[in-house]
Copies of this chain bind each other. A is one copy, B any other.
Amino acid sequence: MIVELVSVGTEILLGNITNTNAVYLSEMCARLGMSLYYQTVVGDNEQRMTETVKTALGRSDVVIFTGGLGPTDDDLTKEVVADVMGMELYEDKRTRKRIEEYMKVYEKNNPGRKITKNNWKQAMVPEGAVILDNNNGTAPGLIMEKNGKIAILLPGPPNEMKPLFEEQVYPYLHKKQPDTIYSQMIKICGIGESQVAEEISDLIEHQSNPTIAPYAKTGEVHLRITAKAKNEKEAKKMMKPVIRELKSRFGKNIFTTEESKTLEQAVVELLQEQKLTLSLAESCTGGMVSSRIVSVPGASEVFREGFVTYAEKAKRKRLLVKKSTLKKETAVSAKTAKEMAKGGCFTSGTDVCVSITGYAGPEGGTKEHPVGTVFLGCCISGDVTVRECHFTGNRSRIREQAAVSALTLLRDCVLENSKKKK
């Protein structure tokens, strides 16, 4: 099936907001095995919207609209799509009741704010449309089918759009697909994007079914393996040799095969399994690694504390880095990274401590260690592993790469340590 996305909203055309809905829906359509050929953004203008809707429904089987379902006069998506498809609007009693209830709760939680009469406009739905109940807002989603074309209308706010898509639209589209689509994620760290691409080029070159699609993230590469088949069992069977092959090629660099698991989550879980406590000693990353660890709900089970030792004095006082080391080797050196990690374990009393020190730029750096040079240390059971890295890009890119590399080093060392224990 051919699908396209139409995002409605002048605020996107003004650059006011990023169209994250398009990224999310594109990935979902790829996962469903649908072919997405176009994304369009159009403003809240009746004439231009009408043209856009006609073009989109003319060339695609399914058009997913986001935005323009709100209560104001500017919100026109439903009206324009219904008009183009030749469907009348009527007031749906159940939807009106739902809006009424939602408003009561909203007004109670937001004293002083009143939802206006305009909201009743949102209870108007096209005849024959499937109404998708929205638990996070007043505008319901809609699925409209006519003459072999499908229009799916979703509200613009991502916290309303995503649950509606996941719970109601995804299963609907999945059923519409002639074949079953099954996909499996493999997430890799510690290997660069180009190296991964090279190592799977023979698998990708003549692929048709199943397919492997690589997605590059900072310091990570995600591979999505997708198979089309008559049923799930057959799809899984088709994917099995591909997944086995990828697992054998990337081995321990695969940190998860779960769709929504992050690297920091995998690291926290690994520490939990190994019953190890963690502290962090950061300089140039300035708390980025701590912040990523804390982003994992339940991190408190393993994470004790982080030291952001930006000044040399803090490195000495908090992490017991020697004055002579800082003088002879400077704060950006393998020896400093080593002492920071060791000192972090000592001060905090944790089993593991990861340290990061480097030149993030734009100023700083030496001839020997230019901007982009970062030393990482990991102390575990008294042993310290040090890694020297060279990153490119601006200050924020260098810091991001340093943070993900620190998580990767931490993971490597904990895995290594667990092998030793056995």
Contact = CB atoms under 8 A, between A and B. Distances in A.
A396 interface: yes
Contacts of A282: 287
A187 interface: no
B26 A37 contact: no
Contact of A307 (B20, B308, B313, B361): B308
Interface residues of A, number: 73
Secondary structure call for the A interface: mixed
B310 A306 contact: yes
Contacts of A295: 286, 395-396, 399
A41 interface: yes
B287 A286 contact: yes
A13 B26 contact: yes
A280 to B, nearest CB: 7
A290 interface: yes
- Pairs of residues from A and B, 6 with the lowest C-beta to C-beta distance, nearest first: A287-B287, A286-B294, A15-B27, A306-B308, A15-B26, A287-B290
Interface of A: 12-20, 22-30, 36-43, 45, 48, 52, 55, 113, 159, 194, 213, 215-216, 280, 282, 284-291, 293-295, 297-300, 303-311, 313-314, 318, 348, 361-363, 393, 395-396, 399
Given A15-B24, A18-B18, A37-B42, 19 more contacts: A12-B26, A13-B39, A14-B26, A15-B23, A15-B25, A15-B26, A15-B30, A18-B20, A19-B22, A38-B41, A159-B393, A286-B287, A287-B306, A287-B308, A294-B308, A303-B310, A304-B314, A307-B307, A314-B348
